[in-house]
Amino acid sequence: MRISAALILAGAAFLAGTAQAAEDPAHAKSLIEQHKAIAAAHQAAAQCLASGKTEEMCHQELNKTCKQLPIIGPLCGMRKHRH
In a domain, 63, yes or no: yes
d(CA 75, CA 49): 15
Q: What is the number of domains present in the chain? A: 1
Q: What is the pLDDT of residue 30?
A: 87
In a domain, 26, yes or no: yes
Q: What is the pTM of this model?
A: 0.62
Phi-psi region of 21 (alpha: psi -120 to 50; beta: other; left: phi over 0): alpha
> Is pLDDT larger for residue 63 or for residue 11?
63
In a domain, 36, yes or no: yes
Among the listed residues 21, 72, 63, the one whose alpha carbon sits nearest the alpha carbon of residue 42? 63
Domain extent at residue 17: 2-67
Task: Give pLDDT tens digits for 13-50.
Answer: 656 655 555 688 999 998 888 889 888 998 999 999 99
d(CA 8, CA 53): 24
In a domain, 12, yes or no: yes
Task: Give pLDDT tens digits for 52-63.
Answer: 999 999 989 988
In a domain, 44, yes or no: yes
In a domain, 55, yes or no: yes
